[in-house]
Structure 1
């Protein structure tokens, strides 16, 4: 058995694992773009206690946040192909379900998971905005959409942004579980390289470093955006 770290493997695998970054970022960005509007709208249903939708959002949040992401991956990644196969067979649709790129399943799984988190983030953030501001917006002739876009949403984002940042960072880290769907992301690429010579310690160090760089960069970008939104803090007082 070799002693110490294999630094040549460590360096080579670092750059190999970097080739999985685009896949990781694509999953993260698409999932956030889906989850942000859904989370905001479902948060509104909970605050306004809209019948049926309010209860659905409540159960949805409890279910998703109460189960591990890896379990959600196994359930969805295993069940969707079976359901689609039965449907396609019934209606004689000539599509091979098992040839679908697993990244589409990743979009679904991580969007579902992140939406549940953002519902609670937006629900608490919207609760900090004075309800009288909506009435004031109506009094000057603004529509609901205009009031939300110009007044409510900016103030909500000021409060919610730190938690949205946390959700985004957690999402990026959660994509490491994409190896369970054979996604060619950071973790799988490093693990496949390690399988040849059993250099798993080096591989996991590379994975650690890459995710640390990614998450630190995302946090920095959110801080920059938070500074831009800071002007709305005065309006919310």
Structure 2
């Protein structure tokens, strides 16, 4: 078997057009998931019964179902659900033609990320001694201010490795967005390969692009962790 290196060189450059889509899905999912995950984690730590049962059930559901199944199920349900809502409101808006698949992908990966971040935030917040919160309250801070100024800055050092793992997994996992016709890195590679059936060459290029992206993400998080760790030591 001989590889078509000319095709690989051309495709490698072409694949980078899908990088903004992959990174967009990754960071939008993280950004949207973070507030919900923090709320769930905080509710469990503070012993709110309703939130505890809800977050446990949600985390178990997400962990117990394949991501591919979540994508296929939600991508089938969301457009129909949105269309039913639009029709019930009497709006003249075609959901199936007007809403880009990219946004469905963001919703799917956000829902998945909420479950993962909940456990990461919970473990990071629990790593801060309870006396820190009590100390903040004793000097006149509200509970919100105590978390914002005392608890969260200390928990950041513990939470970064977990967020790094989730980010890397999101970058890789977003390759499944091509199932929703999203033109990410994987989709661009598959389209390029389909013309001449150069799938091996295309997949090798995709492999390299993902390695480069994930390595950059890990380096950025390592730098942030080192900086925050030095601050805590002071």
Q: Does the TM-score normalized on the shorter chain lie above 0.5?
A: yes
Output the CA distance in 2 between the equivalents of 1:42 and 1:232.
Answer: 28
Partner SS for 1:105: helix
CA RMSD of aligned residues (A): 1.3
Output the CA distance in 1 between the equivalents of 2:18 and 2:137.
Answer: 49
Partner SS for 1:20: helix
Cα shift at 1:85: 2.3
8 A Cα contact 1:103 1:183, kept in partner = yes
Normalised TM-score (structure 1): 0.94
8 A Cα contact 1:155 1:232, kept in partner = no
Output the CA distance in 2 between the equivalents of 1:107 and 1:188.
Answer: 16
Partner residue of 1:57? 55
8 A Cα contact 1:24 1:175, kept in partner = yes
CA offset digits 1:195-230 (Å, max 9, x no partner): 111100011111110110000000000011001111
Partner residue of 2:145? 146
8 A Cα contact 1:158 1:232, kept in partner = no
Partner residue of 2:110? 111
Partner residue of 1:204? 203
Output the CA distance in 1 between the equivalents of 2:219 and 2:35.
Answer: 23
Partner SS for 2:91: coil
Select which of 23, 43, 48 maps to 2:46: 48
Partner residue of 1:12? 10
Partner SS for 2:47: coil
Q: Does 1:78 align with 2:76?
A: yes
Output the CA distance in 1 between the equivalents of 2:55 and 2:231.
Answer: 29
Cα shift at 1:232: 5.1
More helix by share: 2
Residue 8 and residue 46 in structure 1: after superposition, are their counterparts in 2 closer, same or farther (change >3 A)?
same
8 A Cα contact 1:14 1:206, kept in partner = yes
**Which structure 2 residues correspond to residues 130-145 of structure 1 after superposition, within 5 A?**
130-145=129-144
8 A Cα contact 1:125 1:157, kept in partner = yes
Partner residue of 1:96? 94
Q: Does 1:27 align with 2:19?
A: no
Output the CA distance in 2 between the equivalents of 1:87 and 1:106.
Answer: 20
Normalised TM-score (structure 2): 0.95
Larger mean Cα displacement after TM superposition, 85-94 or 10-19: 85-94
Q: List alignment gaps of at least 5 residues for structure 2.
A: none
Partner residue of 2:217? 218
Larger mean Cα displacement after TM superposition, 96-105 or 140-149: 140-149
